[in-house]
Structures are given as structure tokens and as C-alpha cells.
A and B are shown apart, each in its own frame.
Chain A
Amino acid sequence: MFGAGGGTSAYVEAEDADLLVLWGSNARETHPIFFHHVLQGLRKGTRMYSVDPRRTSTARWADGWLGLDVGTDIALANAIGREIIHADLVNHAFVDRATTGFADYAESVEPYTLERAAQITGVDAALIEELAHAYARADRAQICWTLGITEHHNAADYVFALINLALLTGHVGRYGSGLVPLRGQNNVQGGGDMGSIPAKLPGGYDLGDDEARARFEATWGAPISPKAGMHLSQMFEAMEAGTLKALYCIGENPAESEANAAHARHLLEGLDHLVVQDIFRTATAELADVVLPAAADWCEYEGTVTNSERRVQRVRKAIEPPGQARPDTHIICAVADRLGHDWGEPTAEQVWDELRSLSLDWHHGMSYARLEEHGGLQWPCPTEDHPGTPLMHARLWAEDPAEIGTPAPFTPVEHVPPVDVLDEDFPIRLTTVRLLDAYNSGVQSGGYSSPMRRRESLRMDRDDAARLGIADGERVRVVSRRGAVEAPVALDPSLRPGLASFTPHFSEEVDTNVLTNDAWDPKSGTSEFKATAIRIEKLADAPRLATAGD
């Protein structure tokens, strides 16, 4: 945010916020321990709004639930912005001093009246107005979001729409006020920070930053192309074009986790050479020419990971890895060795110290000893006497204009509906959701026996099922423009008419991503997992299976 790809706030601030907006986040199930902080806030009187197409277990804790149609969040956010402007609730002191582009933003949201937003989103205009006023009037307010915001074909615009609201009201850079992207995976933040974002070097430097690049080149003893590489979605396009012929895949299971999975698998099969380095023999590994067994670094080796509050924390070896499994860094160094580069076999701490020597702003002050002493440190932490930065962008509130630095820009964005449109043939919106006791494609969470686990089902609204003549538990065929799967139906009161859901957790039961759309966001590369158009077909003579409630 504002030049630094990370959330602005520490988790504990949620306990002291006056208002929390959980937008496209079912944190009660997907980030349960963050939600503990939210609950402590609620206990002390924090108000909470949930913006989510489903009435989730998070929404049940909310003072207000804005059950919008999938893919209409920008219209909702812009209408909230317009209402704040028209109700004269803009924090002008902040906007004038610390932001740019307000006039253009105000103009861009002008067409998003409450009535029009209600029409687009399906949310009652009075409720939109209520949230707009509550957010603008709160002393301390946070917007927290997850994949409900980022798994769309225009995901970056969704994020900008939320950032605009924080700028409008000054809800950023102060304790208890902030923008909190809850990362879906353990080290998404750290992976990005370490340069796995194609246009970034480790430490958040732009690849086009000549000075930074020169430092990395000097340390690494190799030239670095200033041209960004491909992100995952572009790689699959390159496979399709035949320009990408070999893939080295570390700790990722694209054969199951990519949208439009059948197509993705076809492309993986067409590669000249596929190497998979993983702790599991995943579906992707099954397609590989070479499988390199990796240690589970979180408990079988040493290192660091970075969480959603930018806290770098140590992972440590507790058990021996099985068989021939080796730590990822050791495997990579061994590969480098075979390619004629002697990198030795550095320890995790040596690798980290090299990173610290290059990431001068974010990580330089984070020695292993300090990470140990402080229970992790939050970047930026530029020097060894720096306490780390729980709360970012406080500079925007500085008295001295020189200290404010680069002002935070408003970014006008427009509502664009999902690519996978609803029509007569595909009238139901399918969204992907996650469960408390399972995780992503299920390769890790499938290992333990959860008493809450049920078979994977198409969750749908009772009225929709009645209209289609489908009984609870009946097996149906679910068809999208890309593929079809069969699954039993489970009636779910958290869903509304026209909305159904699958999880991505149990692909051996229901291969959800056969249905999803691989249309992706040009700014982030994220696919449109959240918005698939489907129809639900009855199977001839389908036996009614026992339901969870039977």
C-alpha cells in the first residue's frame, strides 16, 4: 500500500478499533486467530460490518451484513465514497495534506448513487448509507479483506476501491485505523517480500530501480534483467503459446489449484520438462518428469516466514525430515551446483543475512538473534536498534509537510461485472469458499481427521433447490462454460437465491477448478475464482444420498 505491499496495522489494533469492516473475508473460519482479536474488540464494544455475498459465520457476529452480489464490491465501495462526500463526512484535513487526486475520485464516484448501487449490488440503500456514515464517523476504523476481494478478474481495482475509502476518511496511519489484507497462505507476504513477485526484487525494490538492482548484481555476481518475469497466469498463457516449455514448480499444486483446471493440466502435460519440488506427491507431481522431495521447512528445517501484519518470524526444526527429503534451499543449491555454480550449502541464517545486507529498508535490522528476542519483528526495520513497525504510514499524519513524503494517491476505479456472465444457460453464480478445518487444495489438511469434515457438496439456497426440484443430498451435475462435475447438494442457509458454493479442498471428490474461470487480473495475475456462472442439472434417476443431517 502506498508503495509498500503489506497491511498497515498490527492484529492487536483490532481489539481497540471502534469499527471493523470485514469485506470479502470470512475470518471466523479462514483466519480464526485474527478473529480472536476481532472478538475481543466486539466484547469491548467495537462495531462490525460484514460485506460478503454469503451470510458467513463471520457475518453472524456483525452488527450489519451487506449481502452483495458476487463481483459488485467496487460499485458498493464507490457508493459509500459518494455518500461520505455528499454527507460532508470527508476528513478534509487528511485529504488535503496527505493525498492526491481527490477531485478526480469525487468525480468518478458521482454516478454511484445509493439507488444505483442498490440496484447493482442487491444491498438495501439504507444499509449502504448506514455503513458509509458509521465508517466515516468512527474514530478508529479498519477495513480487513481476503480472497473475496482479490480473486476477481480486476482484483487490484477492488483493493483500490477500499483504499480510496480509507483515504477519504483518514482511516490509515493511526492506531486502530488501517487497511488489513489478511493473507490466504502462511507465507504469501514473505514470498512476495523475497522477490517472488515478478516486478520486484527482495525487500520490495522495483526491478526497474537501477540503484537497487546494481546492489543485488554486485552481491549475487550476476546480471539481473530489468524486465519483469512472468507471473503464474502469464506462465500458463506462455505454455499455451508454446514459448514456455519447461517448468520448475516449488511448493505449489497448480494441477488442482489453478482455475480452469482441466485446461491447466493439459498445458502442464504438454511441457517438455516439468520438475516438482514438494513435500507431497501432489497431483502436479504426478505429471512431473522429476520430483524432488522437499523437507517441510516449517518444522523440519530453519528459516523465516512473514505474516499478514508484516511480522517476520522464525521457523525451526523440530523433527527430522523423512527419507531423502531435503530443505528447499539445499535442493536449490545442489541444482545450482549441477549447473556449474558452487553456492556451497549455506545455512538458513546465512541466506537470511545476505538478504538483510540487500533489503536495507525492510529487513536490515532483523538479525536471527533479534527475531528470537522479540518474538518476530514487523518491517520496515532498517537498523539493529529499530523496534520494527507495527503501524505503517504514520508519516501521512506528520506535522511537517516534508515528513509526509509522497502523498497517498486516490485511484478512481469503475465497477466491471465478472467476466463469466450469468445468462439463461448459466443462471447461477458459483463462488469458492473455505472451511475452518481445511486448507486450499487439501494436501496438508487432508492428513488429519477432523470431526467437522463432511463430504464435499454443492451448497445452495433452499428456494433455488425447490425451484429446480432438487432435494437435499441429491446428486447433481454442475456445468460451467469450461467443464462439468457431479456432486451432492447440501442446502445452506448462508446462501441466497442465485448463489451456490464449492470449496477447493477436496478435489478428489469434486474437482471444483474444472469449473472456475481463468480470466485473470492484469495487475495481480489472480484468477476469477470467486465468480463462475453455472447451471445445475438433475441427473436421471439420481439416488438421494444420506445428508449430513440424516
Chain B
Amino acid sequence: MGTPVMLGAITRMVTLTVDGRDVRVPEGSTILQALHEEGTAQQADTPTLCWAPNLAPVNACRVCVVEVEGSRVLVPSCARTVEDGMVVRTDSEKVRHSRRMVLELLASSVDMSQAGDDVARWMTEYGVDADRYGPPAPPAAAGERDRRRAGHHHAPDGSHAETVAQPVKIDNDLYVRDYSRCILCYKCVNACGTDAQFTFAIAAAGRGFDARIATEYDAELPDSACVYCGNCIGVCPTGALKSVREHELRENDDWHPEDETVTTTICSFCGVGCNLELHVQNNSIVNVTSPSDHSVTHGHLCVKGRFGFQHVQNL
């Protein structure tokens, strides 16, 4: 008897039409998977913010929407599964306009400056003009947004763009929460919850524009259920959650991503053998991540793997 090899579930193939071209993908795929795996370069570059390969889709940001023939409204490609005979359009005026609005409204209210090169490029490609909503309103005082209750939001007068700007929360030695950069994509909530860690230290609180990610009763992290796995940092797309080390280096103008090397190795702690990507600047480890496509970690780590490298730091 040979070595058993796991092939995964055997699935039927379905055919859909994307921008006039037939595409065949396994049944159960999402439209986004079809675009990533079988699409043109442009189709594969469908913008995403709240989607990640190692998280279940949450349909929060709507930036990946496409048109599906027969559907009254645009559908999020990250979550909609393909059907045989489905007709999809990814580049219609309706799609482009909707994506632009999503990016523009986020850019007018949230600091997207650390959201990465792809987001910056999409902003340009979709013609985002965040300034047309007026100058940004002044930042909220520390804790003010946390105290706002549902239904008590004042109506904006239109002279300024409403924002989520507020001071950075630094209440522990490992990571900061910079909610001026939070787009409420829910990735952190789901990494902390049922997609990986099952700690449930954070959830969305508040309603409408005052909605925010919060611990229970807005407790400081050391008083919350948080176990500092940092899987929330690992999935955050905008730099709202980051290590104290990265935060400090950025604050001191000592952050040099252009010089950063990323080396994959194995964690030196327990016997699970998690893949670590060591992000190194100037011979010093600045961040630790894990590849989302590896069967050991699915991209998620524990506190020791993500933060326990101080003993090899050359500072």
C-alpha cells in the first residue's frame, strides 16, 4: 500500500462568464477566487480591504463588488460563490463608481496613509478625491469616541469631513491601537474570534459613524481578555494595529520599509513548529508574521511566536 496522500474534497467544475470570457473553477469557489485564479491581470487585481485568504469573508467593506447578471444590487465578490452559468462584470461603470465611493468615503474619514501600496494605487486608479468632502474635522479627544452612545451623534453641518481621528491607544508593551486608521473591516474581530484565536477580546461597539472596535466596557488591554497573540495585527490592513516597536520607529522617523528583509524560519519555542516571517530592518527584528498558506499556522501565531524575539535582538 502506498503512502496516503490527502487530495481534499473532489468537486465538480462550474463555468461562469467574466467580462465576456468563460472561466471554469471548482464548485464552491467564490467569485474573487475565480478572479484570482483564472482572471486577467486586471481582474485578479480586484481591490479588497476586509478580505484575507485565511479569514472567512465578512462583506464589510464592499470594495470588491462586481455586477452579477440578474442581481438587482452589486455583490461582494469575496463572499458570493460561483454558480454554473453566472455572468459577472468586473469593470462596468456601476462597479467602478461604487468602488470609488467606498475608497473615497474611507479616505475622507480615516487615515489610510499606512494601508499599503495596493490601496494607494487603487485610490489613484479609481480617481478617489477625498478632499471634496471638505477639510477634516479636528480629532476627538482621547476616549471621547468610546463614550459616544448610539443615537447621540450630532448631525454634521457639511463644513468639514467627519473623521475617526483620535489619539493612539498605548496601554501595554506589545502593541498599539491607532483607531484613526480603523476602517471597521472586522478582520481583527474575526481573527480574535472564530477564524483563529477564539479569545473574543474585541468586538464592534456603538452604531453608525460612532461604531468602533472595542474591548468589553472599553477596558484597557491588560484588563481585557486579550492574550496578545497579535493575530489582529497580522490581519489589520491599514496599520491601525501595530507592534509598539513599529509604532515607535515610525514616530521617530526611523521606519525604513524599503530596507526591510523578510526571512521565513521556524519559531524556537514549543514543538508545534510555526513558520515565522522575520521582518528585519537594520539587523533588528521589527515584526513577525506567518504565511497564511502554511498548513501549520494558517498565518496565525501566539504571543511567544509574534513577540518573544527580544532575546535575539541586537539593540
- Of residues 265 to 315 in B, which have CB atoms within 8 Å of A's CB atoms? 265-275, 278, 280, 283-285, 291, 294-298, 300-305, 307-314
* A–B pairs, 27, beta carbons within 8 Å: A12-B295, A33-B274, A33-B300, A36-B300, A182-B271, A182-B272, A184-B270, A184-B271, A185-B269, A186-B266, A188-B271, A296-B268, A307-B273, A313-B273, A315-B266, A316-B263, A318-B263, A318-B278, A319-B278, A375-B291, A376-B273, A391-B4, A439-B308, A447-B313, A449-B173, A451-B173, A452-B227
Q: How far is the CB of A107 from chain B (nearest CB, A)?
A: 32
Segment of B37-45, B147-155, B190-198 in the binding face: B190-198
Q: How would residues 429 to 441 of chain A score, 1 for a CB under 8 Å from any chain B CB and 0 otherwise?
A: 0000000110100
Is B172 located at the chain interface by the 8 A CB criterion? yes
14 further A-B pairs in the complex, CB-CB below 8 A; given A31-B270, A299-B263, A313-B266: A30-B270, A182-B272, A279-B312, A299-B312, A307-B266, A311-B273, A375-B294, A386-B3, A437-B228, A437-B308, A445-B269, A448-B174, A450-B174, A451-B173
Q: How far is the CB of B192 from chain A (nearest CB, A)?
A: 12
Query: Assuming the A-B contacts A186-B270, A313-B266, are A451 and B284 also in contact, with contact meaning beta carbons closer than 8 angstroms in the complex?
Result: no
Whether A387 contacts B5 by the Cβ 8 Å rule is: yes
- Of residues 193 to 234 in B, which have CB atoms within 8 Å of A's CB atoms? 194, 196-198, 221-222, 226-229
Whether A307 contacts B295 by the Cβ 8 Å rule is: no
Is A390 located at the chain interface by the 8 A CB criterion? yes
Is B264 located at the chain interface by the 8 A CB criterion? yes
Q: How far is the CB of A381 from chain B (nearest CB, A)?
A: 9
Is A32 located at the chain interface by the 8 A CB criterion? yes
Which residues in B have their C-beta under 8 angstroms from that of A394?
1, 3-4
Whether A36 contacts B267 by the Cβ 8 Å rule is: no
Whether A311 contacts B296 by the Cβ 8 Å rule is: yes
Which residues in A have their C-beta under 8 angstroms from that of B303?
436-437, 450, 452
A308, closest chain B residue (CB): B271
- Of residues 438 to 489 in A, which have CB atoms within 8 Å of B's CB atoms? 439, 443-452
- Of residues 207 to 266 in A, which have CB atoms within 8 Å of B's CB atoms? none
Whether A33 contacts B305 by the Cβ 8 Å rule is: yes
Docked pose: A398 CA to B314 CA in angstroms:
54
- Of residues 20 to 36 in A, which have CB atoms within 8 Å of B's CB atoms? 30-34, 36
Is A317 located at the chain interface by the 8 A CB criterion? yes
Whether B284 contacts A186 by the Cβ 8 Å rule is: no
Is B261 located at the chain interface by the 8 A CB criterion? yes
Whether A319 contacts B280 by the Cβ 8 Å rule is: yes
Query: Assuming the A-B contacts A33-B300, A448-B309, A449-B174, are A43 and B194 also in contact, with contact meaning beta carbons closer than 8 angstroms in the complex?
Result: yes
Pairs A-B, 5 closest by C-beta atoms: A307-B273, A183-B271, A447-B311, A318-B263, A32-B302
Q: How far is the CB of A393 from chain B (nearest CB, A)?
A: 10
Whether B271 contacts A403 by the Cβ 8 Å rule is: no
Query: Assuming the A-B contacts A10-B295, A319-B283, A444-B308, are A186 and B267 also in contact, with contact meaning beta carbons closer than 8 angstroms in the complex?
Result: yes
Q: How far is the CB of B233 from chain A (nearest CB, A)?
A: 14
Docked pose: A394 CA to B265 CA in angstroms:
31
What number of A residues sit within 8 Å (CB to CB) of B? 69
Q: How would residues 12 to 56 of chain B score, 1 for a CB under 8 Å from any chain A CB and 0 otherwise?
A: 000000000000000000000000000000000000000000000
Whether A189 contacts B265 by the Cβ 8 Å rule is: no
Whether A443 contacts B311 by the Cβ 8 Å rule is: yes
Whether A33 contacts B309 by the Cβ 8 Å rule is: no
Is A306 located at the chain interface by the 8 A CB criterion? yes
Give which listed residue, B227, B261, B267, B296, contacts A298 with CB less than 8 A: B267
Whether A298 contacts B3 by the Cβ 8 Å rule is: no
Docked pose: A519 CA to B40 CA in angstroms:
67
Give which listed residue, A33, A322, A375, A376, contacts B272 with CB less than 8 A: A33
Which residues in B have their C-beta under 8 angstroms from that of A447?
308, 310-311, 313
* B residues at A contact (CB < 8 Å): 1, 3-6, 172-174, 194, 196-198, 221-222, 226-229, 261, 263-275, 278, 280, 283-285, 291, 294-298, 300-305, 307-314
Which residues in A have their C-beta under 8 angstroms from that of B6?
10, 175, 390-391
* A residues at B contact (CB < 8 Å): 10-12, 30-34, 36, 39, 43, 175, 182-189, 279-280, 296, 298-300, 305-309, 311, 313-320, 322, 375-376, 386-391, 394-395, 397-400, 403, 436-437, 439, 443-452
Whether B314 contacts A448 by the Cβ 8 Å rule is: no
Q: How far is the CB of B119 from chain A (nearest CB, A)?
A: 27
Give which listed residue, B197, B283, B296, B304, contacts A445 with CB less than 8 A: B304
Which residues in B have their C-beta under 8 angstroms from that of A311?
273, 296
Give which listed residue, B271, B278, B300, contacts A307 with CB less than 8 A: B271
Which residues in A have their C-beta under 8 angstroms from that of B297?
33, 36
Which residues in A have their C-beta under 8 angstroms from that of B300?
33, 36
Whether B275 contacts A186 by the Cβ 8 Å rule is: no
Whether A451 contacts B265 by the Cβ 8 Å rule is: no
Which residues in A have their C-beta under 8 angstroms from that of B295?
10-12, 375
Whether B309 contacts A11 by the Cβ 8 Å rule is: no
Which residues in A have their C-beta under 8 angstroms from that of B198?
39
Whether B309 contacts A299 by the Cβ 8 Å rule is: yes
Whether A451 contacts B172 by the Cβ 8 Å rule is: yes
Give which listed residue, A186, A280, A300, A315, contacts B271 with CB less than 8 A: A186
Which residues in A have their C-beta under 8 angstroms from that of B194?
43
Query: Assuming the A-B contacts A33-B297, A451-B173, are A318 and B261 also in contact, with contact meaning beta carbons closer than 8 angstroms in the complex?
Result: yes
Whether A319 contacts B268 by the Cβ 8 Å rule is: no
Whether A444 contacts B311 by the Cβ 8 Å rule is: yes
Docked pose: A395 CA to B4 CA in angstroms:
10
Which residues in B have their C-beta under 8 angstroms from that of A436?
227, 302-304
Q: How far is the CB of B235 from chain A (nearest CB, A)?
A: 14
Which residues in B have their C-beta under 8 angstroms from that of A309?
273, 296
Q: How far is the CB of A308 from chain B (nearest CB, A)?
A: 4
Give which listed residue, B261, B272, B301, contacts A31 with CB less than 8 A: B272
Query: Assuming the A-B contacts A11-B296, A185-B270, A315-B265, are A296 and B312 also in contact, with contact meaning beta carbons closer than 8 angstroms in the complex?
Result: yes
Q: How far is the CB of B248 from chain A (nearest CB, A)?
A: 13
Docked pose: A450 CA to B298 CA in angstroms:
24
Docked pose: A280 CA to B283 CA in angstroms:
19
Which residues in A have their C-beta under 8 angstroms from that of B270?
30-32, 182-186, 439
Q: How far is the CB of B95 from chain A (nearest CB, A)?
A: 34
| Residue among A315, A318, A391, A395 with most chain B CB within 10 A | A318
Docked pose: A375 CA to B263 CA in angstroms:
13
Which residues in B have their C-beta under 8 angstroms from that of A175?
4, 6
Docked pose: A36 CA to B308 CA in angstroms:
19
Query: Assuming the A-B contacts A307-B296, A391-B4, are A186 and B268 also in contact, with contact meaning beta carbons closer than 8 angstroms in the complex?
Result: yes
Query: Assuming the A-B contacts A299-B265, A375-B275, A437-B304, are A322 and B172 also in contact, with contact meaning beta carbons closer than 8 angstroms in the complex?
Result: no
